[in-house]
Amino acid sequence: MSVYVYAITSSECHPRLDDLHGVGEEAPPLRTVTEGALRAVVSDAPADLRAKRRDLSAHHEVQERLLSERAVLPMRFGLTAADDDAVRAALSEHAELYSERLAELEGRVEFNLKASEDEGVLLRQVIEESDEVRRLNEATREGGGTYEERLALGELVAQEVGARQDSLTAELTEALRPCASAESEGATSEYFLNVSFLVDRDRVREFTSAAEKLAERYGPDVELRLRGPLPPYSFV
């Protein structure tokens, strides 16, 4: 039977896993596969694996339990191997790389920061502070103005919004950077900022305090969402 792989950690890590369960309808028990200085946490893989909330939660709970013990290399959801021997072979083949990454991550956790702005408030600020945007907005109000004016308004607003969000991204990132050892940018969609920070455990309070001060500074118009501590998903 194929096996589902949750994470890799040091063989010195002996996490308590009996109160957790694996992914899949039958919630299989967890076990470990050890090779040299490395240990993988696995379970039997379900025949039909889907990214259901229950299984995503089980996947992350295992990784977070390991993170509470030692550094961890979290695997993406859905990663499987042919059997335990295949896991041992992978641990052996990549032992040096995995061990180096674990050493780099020891004593560190990830925090993810996302930021978004109220579009209505942002648009009002752009109109208030840009004479040209205000002029074009007045000219095109209620369907008026020429096609060129409407096009120019859209382009100018997009430029102003982009410039403001780029500036805010730089401000937020630079404010938190001194509290972190590394950072990694993520994909953005409804958020104009999505960045993860690798933070030493003994600086977690300093980091979260800095994030709280940023939230107070920018107020309700800028939504800051901070998640963590997390396994270092963005740094593996």
Q: pLDDT per residue over 183-207, tens digit each? A: 999 887 778 899 999 999 999 999 9
| Strand, helix or coil for residue 135 | helix
Strands 222-230 and 72-74: unpaired
Q: pTM score, two decimals?
A: 0.77
Q: Find the DSSP H helices in the chain.
A: 53-67, 84-93, 95-105, 119-129, 131-139, 147-176, 204-218
Cα separation of 22 and 43, whole Å?
Answer: 6
Place of tokens 């991550």: 105
Q: pLDDT per residue over 132-187, tens digit each? A: 766 766 766 766 667 776 777 677 767 777 788 888 899 999 999 999 999 999 88
For residue 86, the tally of other CB atoms under 10 A from its CB is 15
Of 88, 13, 9, 81, the closest CA to residue 43 belongs to 81
